[in-house]
């Protein structure tokens, strides 16, 4: 029985490359000279550090531009509110991976509402869709691409 998995993944190597490029741009820009502005990347987040709220907004724009050029979907980002402390301003940008339970339920409900002859199950942080016909599975893919679920969706592990 043909099947495929719906996942939400971000290539963390591309995120690292984009953060490195953004760091280089901030270090060479005239409006950031002497501010000590930088991007720090942890496992699933990027921290922006600079002197003012205005510069944080500029740095966030630089980061988003570099990520989009590297092929990272910006829907996977969640910018936390800036924290101003003394002479430093911090802002965290979280990078979401995987499909959580609520979004998984929305996906399954959307697939069932499409009235296609397929089954969808939540399996951890992905959704498996299976059906008898390959055409039905391709219809589900186009249906999910057209929907707005708040996370980037990829279709992997297509089996015939």
15, 71 Cβ separation under 8 angstroms: no
The yes-or-no verdict on residue 17 having pLDDT over 90 is yes
Instruction: For residue 119, name the pLDDT band (cuts at 50, 70, 90).
Output: confident
**Mean pLDDT for the chain overall:** 88
User: What is the rounded distance in angstroms from the CA atom of residue 28 to the CA atom of residue 32?
Assistant: 8
Q: DSSP readout, 110-128? A: HHHHTT-SEEEEEETTEEE
3-8+99-159 and 12-95 in the same fold: yes
The yes-or-no verdict on residue 124 having pLDDT over 80 is yes
- Residue 150's φ and ψ, nearest 5 degrees, are 85, 0
Radius of gyration of the chain (CA): 20
pLDDT at 13: 92
The residues pairing with 155 across neighbouring beta strands, listed in sequence order, are 6
pLDDT at 68: 93
The yes-or-no verdict on residue 136 having pLDDT over 90 is no
Residues 30-76 pLDDT 10s? 888 888 888 999 988 999 999 888 888 999 999 999 999 999 888 88
The residues pairing with 47 across neighbouring beta strands, listed in sequence order, are 40, 92
CATH of domain 12-95: 3.30.70.990
Question: Per CATH, the architecture of 3-8+99-159 is what?
Answer: 2-Layer Sandwich (3.30)
Burial class (CB in 10 A: 0-12, 13-18, 19+), 74: exposed
pLDDT at 115: 85
pLDDT at 47: 92
Domain coordinates of the chain in residue numbers?
Answer: 3-8+99-159, 12-95
pLDDT at 64: 92
User: What is the rounded distance in angstroms from the CA atom of residue 36 to the CA atom of residue 13?
Assistant: 25
Provide, rounded to the nearest whole percent, the portion of the chain with pLDDT above 90.
25
């Amino acid at each position: 029985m043909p099947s495929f998995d719906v996942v939400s993944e971000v290539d963390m190597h591309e995120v690292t490359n984009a953060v490195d490029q953004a760091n280089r741009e901030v270090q060479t820009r005239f409006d950031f000279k002497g501010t000590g502005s930088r991007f720090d990347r942890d496992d699933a987040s990027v921290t922006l550090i600079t002197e003012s709220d205005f510069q944080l907004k500029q740095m966030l724009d630089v980061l988003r531009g570099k990520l989009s050029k590297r092929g990272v979907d910006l829907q996977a980002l969640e910018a936390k509110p800036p924290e101003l402390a003394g002479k430093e301003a911090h802002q965290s940008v979280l990078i979401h991976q995987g499909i959580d339970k609520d979004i998984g339920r929305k996906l399954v409900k959307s697939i069932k509402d499409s009235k296609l002859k397929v089954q969808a199950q939540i399996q951890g942080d992905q959704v498996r869709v299976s059906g008898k016909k390959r055409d039905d599975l391709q219809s589900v893919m186009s249906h999910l691409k057209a929907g707005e679920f708040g996370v980037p969706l990829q279709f992997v592990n297509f089996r015939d």
